[in-house]
Structures are given as structure tokens and as C-alpha cells.
Amino acid sequence: MSSIRVLEAVVDAFCAESIDELTAVEALTIMARLEVVQRRLSARGGGLIPKVTAQASPVELGGTSYADAVSRRLHISKGAARRRIADAEQLAPRRAITGEVLAPQLPNVACALGRGDIGEEHVRIICSFFDRLPVMVDGPTREAAEQQLADMAARFRPEQLRVGAERMMALLNPDGEFSDVDRARRRGVTIGQQGFDGMSPITGLLDPETRAYLDAVLAKLAAPGMCNPSDRSPVVDGKPAPDAADRDTRSDAQRNHDALRTCLRATLASGELGSHHGLPVTVVVTTTLAELEERAGIAITGAGTRLPMRDLIRMARHAHHYLSIFDDDGRPLYLGRTKRIASSDQRLVLHARDRGCTHPDCTVPGYLCEVHHITEWADGGDTDIDNLTLACPPHHRLLSHGWTTRKHPDGTTEWIPPPQLEFSGITPAECRWFPD
């Protein structure tokens, strides 16, 4: 498209113009016009996504998924890439099996976005509305609702549209009736990123069955006096003494939190969860001897969670300990095996050394990784620790599509893309590195 070069030249000229002489009103007017232009360009960019997904596989584009490929090329987060792809599924034209061009799932919203009348916030609210709309609502009613919401979005700000959407939901489902399909579609629990203070937010929706299980657990373990970490010997079974309940100053939310921790710890200790990637389902933590002796610092779990040393020491009272010895350059001492499958000990060393998938563009933690032979077992590669590395399943599969790996002297793993992926912006050699 030659027009993209014209657009880039126009943008260069616009950005080069001085804004020093603009009045407040003139600046605000330009901002409004610029907002419309950005919305229209955003809609146009979203319309290109089906061309990408229809004509090439993620592997051909150098990624493990379309979101991975788009995020790499556009230099955006995978979350943002997933949202753009999801938006394109509803706002971009579709094609039937016969090749016929079909209207978008939300045609009026797509038109309003293409004109620049609405923005991303409006789209989020409307998409959320249809995500929550019961399946019992028929097609014609959905079409009428989409038309009205698009009209409202063009006239009102996002916060006003949200109020209108909630009122429409109340009209379409006045009794608040939802089917099992509706509940199953909306169920989910999300654990957010760990904050600077080590705390992690948790949000979600529980279906009635899961709520029933949780209620039964909390009724016992979240009662006043139960599972209180302030007690020398927290009560986890039976009934707490009256004085234990009286001195319990925790809030309801704190008691629920401590009950959940006790339940999870007991479940792991039971051993009934079996194994995962060759190890018993348990908490794998990496730290150094110096940090243990000083009782200071931060340990790292197999999921990448930062764990204060005092918490690790408390957990270690009920754990089995492993010692992994590394040389001065951070390489583990020799640990070999004559079988193809890595041993449990080798997997523990890989947790300590690699922490997670060693592909440079990946943040998947060790819990979710597989063990990869740098020199494949079928090609004579040994199952020795210096020939092994961690790789998440999607990146592990890339090795069947032209990618190769090799070890550096410092023990890091280099991932080399096939030559045909030079267009994707992937550098010829990359290594993942974890600061200590």
C-alpha cells in the first residue's frame, strides 16, 4: 500500500509543526480532531488482523500464537495483542466458507469506530455488555441492542454509555435470570501481577458449585480463632478455645485469606495431586546459602513468585531440602543420566538455574515448562544437565519448525530463529537472563 508512505510523510509534517503559538481553544480543537483520526486509524489497523490470521500460521510469523506474533511485531504487550485480535473478531468483516464477505458481528459499532465517532473505551463497554447478555435473548433483540448502543456511544462519553448499557441490561433481563451456559461462560479466577510489596490481587466469579465448596471450607477454617498465624500453634482442626477466638483481631477478609492458605497447604501436603512435569506437585523455591544464613533477601518460586526469606524459612520447617552446587560462573556441577527423560533431581537443578522458559521473549515460569535437549536425544545428545534447558510447550514446539538452540559458556541458552523469519524483527541470537 503506497498510501501508508503518504500517511507517514503527513504525520512527519504534522509532528514537525510548532505548537508554541496555539491558544488553549485551538489546541483543544486539534486534540479532538486528532482523536478522531487516531480512532479511524485504529479501526483500519484492526481490519488488517484477519488478513494476518487467514493467510499464515503463528509459527510462520515467528510466534507461538497470533497474539505472540502481533505483540512482537507491534512492540506491544501480549494482553494488548489479544484484545486487538478479539476486537477484530467482532468488528472486522468476515468471510463465509464460500468466500462471501459477511458483515462484522457488531456492524454498527464497527461503522462508528471507522468514522471515529467512538473509541476503545466505548468498544470495551459494548463488548462487555454482550459478554454478560444471557443466551436466551434472541437474535433480533441483540441486533436492536447493538444498534442502540452504537448510537448512544457516538453521543455520550464512556461513563455515560456504561450507565445506559446497565439500564438496557435491566430491561432485557429484568428478573436477572441466567442459565448454566451463561454462568459457565462467565466463570473464572484471575491472579494479578505481584506488587512491589509482594501482595497479589485476585479477582473473578465463582459458579454456584464452586461457591458451595468454598463456603463449606470457610465455615470451618475461617471461623474466629482458626488458622490464626499470630498463635504459636494455629488451630487447624477441632474447635478453638474461647480465649483463642476472643483474641482473634483479624477481619473477615483476613480470616478468609488465612483459611485459604491452610487449605492449599494441606492439599499439597496430602500428596493426592500426583506429579507435574516429573515432580510431585509442591512448592519449588530457589535461594542461596548466604541469603538463608543472613535470613534476608528474596527467594524465587517455580512460578516466578518472590518469596520473603522469613516466609521461606517458615515453610521449610515442613519441607524436604535440596542443595544444588554451582561453579563460580553460575553453571551447575555435572549431573548426568543415561535415560532420555530428565530425573527429578535434574528438574530441580533446572528450576534453580533457568527459573523458567529460556526463550528470550517468554515469561512462562518453571512450573509450566518442559525439559528440552539442546542436542536432541535422537541425535546422540545425552541427558546431562549441561545439555538440558527449560522450554514452555509453545516455544518447545517451535524447535520442530526450524528454530535451534545452543548453550553459551556461561550456561545460558541461545534461541536461533530460522532464516526466513528475519522480516519479523527477531535478532539472530538471543538469550534470556535473570538478574540475581
**Residues above pLDDT 90, as percent of the chain:** 48
Q: Which residue has the cell 433483540?
A: 141
* Domain ranges (residues) in the chain: 23-177, 206-266, 344-431
CB 334 within 8 A of CB 326: no
Give mean pLDDT, residues 388-401.
Answer: 90
pLDDT per residue as tens digits for the range 44-58: 999 999 999 999 999
According to the model, what pLDDT value does residue 425 have?
Answer: 52
Average pLDDT value for the chain: 85
Q: What is the 3-state secondary structure (H, E, C) of 301-366?
A: ECCCCEEEHHHHHHHHCCCCCCCCCECCCCCECCCCCCCCCCCHHHHHHHHHHHCECCCCCCCCEH
Confidence check: pLDDT of 416 > 50: yes
Instruction: Report residue 436's pLDDT band, with 50, 70 and 90 as the boundaries.
Output: very low
Q: In angstroms, how far apart are the furthest CA atoms of the chain?
A: 80
**CB within 8 Å of 18: residues ≥ 6 apart:** none
Our CA angle for 116, 117, 122, nearest 5°, is 105
Instruction: Report residue 280's pLDDT band, with 50, 70 and 90 as the boundaries.
Output: confident
According to the model, what pLDDT value does residue 201 have?
Answer: 95
Does the pTM surpass 0.85? The reply is no
Residue 264 CA: distances (Å) to CA of 45, 299, 308, 357, 358? 45, 20, 19, 26, 29
Confidence check: pLDDT of 321 > 90: no
Of 179, 173, 182, the residue nearest 205 (C-alpha): 182
According to the model, what pLDDT value does residue 334 have?
Answer: 44
Instruction: Report residue 42's pLDDT band, with 50, 70 and 90 as the boundaries.
Output: very high
Confidence check: pLDDT of 24 > 90: yes
According to the model, what pLDDT value does residue 46 have?
Answer: 94
Confidence check: pLDDT of 142 > 90: yes
CB 389 within 8 A of CB 356: no
pLDDT per residue as tens digits for the range 161-189: 999 999 999 899 887 777 888 888 889 99
Provide the 3-class DSSP secondary structure of residue 385.
Answer: helix
According to the model, what pLDDT value does residue 318 have?
Answer: 62
CB 393 within 8 A of CB 367: no
Q: What is the 3-state secondary structure (H, E, C) of 187-215?
A: CEEEECCCCCCCCCCEEEECCHHHHHHHH
pLDDT per residue as tens digits for the range 223-265: 999 999 888 888 888 888 888 888 899 999 999 999 999 999 8
Q: Which residue has the cell 518472590?
A: 306
Residue 406 CA: distances (Å) to CA of 222, 262, 353, 366? 51, 43, 16, 19
Rounded to whole angstroms, the Cα distance separating 377 from 372 reads: 9
Residue 409 CA: distances (Å) to CA of 93, 385, 387? 51, 13, 12
Give mean pLDDT, residues 16-44.
Answer: 96
